[in-house]
Amino acid sequence: MSVLGPNPMPSTPVLRTPPRPRLAQKPMERDVFPPTHLSWIHRQLAAGADGRPALQRFLMEVYLFPLQVYFRGTRMRWLGDAEDVVQGFFADRLARPGFLPAWRQSGKPLRRWLMNAFCFYLHELRRERSAQDAHAALELDPLAPDAALEQEADRKFVVGIVRAALRKAEQVCRERGHESHWRLFVAHHLDQRPYAELEAQFGVSAARASVMVRTATVCFRAVLRGLIERDGAPARDVDQVIAALLEATRP
């Protein structure tokens, strides 16, 4: 069994959470951003140019691929290569000082805010090119995101955020001197190898391996929760958000 749930995607660890009914998404109140969420985003914004590189790395690592997938599914894909268009979007919007502070006041998950902003960006690109390309005048207005495309983008968001959590959790484990714990975590959860099979390779008993994997799993879950909070989920709703996102990854 994976740490995220029953096989939501190949080779991706997932949190083991109790079964939950699929809940309708509700808007977050504007005053409920928890300190754990604001502590990172706010620091990067408050640091100005010094905080921008870390913030941009996080956005590109988690949201670049979902937006590319979304773009490829729209009727606006004639505007250019998906990676170039999405890179252009980030370059344009992140250069605007008020862009991310406006998101923080919107009460929307960051992935939804970015998707809406991306739709406006596509509209702007189409308008810029309409005088040179007659094809542009025939396209539909892209400002209303398509539900099916949003769901597919959510699938890629899950993949991106889990991969980011894996990289960060590995770093944290190494810094704490738990490199062996992390290697066991990878072997057991990602490679799906039973503890009994790992005894000879790692020189620890199955019982000890279980304890070490549990330590790394706690680290991974904490990092994943932090990344979900960065997307805009209040701390009290993180488990619900994870469950809803995992549900979106299932056929």
Cα distances (angstroms) measured from residue 248 to each of 178, 242, 251: 33, 10, 8
Kindly indicate the confidence band of residue 183, based on its pLDDT and cuts at 50, 70 and 90: very high
Report percent pLDDT > 90 for the chain: 23
40 in Cβ contact with 239 (< 8 Å): no
- Residue 158: which pLDDT band, with cuts at 50, 70 and 90? confident
CA pair distance 213, 243, nearest whole angstrom: 22
Confidence at residue 134, expressed as pLDDT on a 0 to 100 scale = 53
The rounded mean pLDDT for the chain is 75
pLDDT tens readout for residues 100-136: 888 878 878 888 888 889 989 998 888 887 766 655 4
- pLDDT tens, residue by residue, 185-194: 999 998 999 9
Which carries the bigger pLDDT value, residue 2 or residue 213?
Answer: 213
Q: Is the pLDDT of residue 5 over 70?
A: no
**CA-to-CA distance for 170 and 179, rounded, in angstroms?**
8
Nearest to 225 by CA among 211, 243, 201, 207: 243
Please say whether the beta carbons of 15 and 5 come within 8 A.
Answer: yes
The 3-state DSSP class for residue 127 equals helix
What is residue 35's predicted lDDT score, i.e. its pLDDT?
Answer: 36
Helix H, strand E, coil C: the string for 81-93 is CHHHHHHHHHHHH
- Two tokens, residue 211: 């304890």
Where is pLDDT greater, at 236 or 115? 115
Task: Say which residue, 219 or 140, is predicted with more confidence.
Answer: 219
How many CB atoms sit inside 10 A of residue 23's CB?
Answer: 12
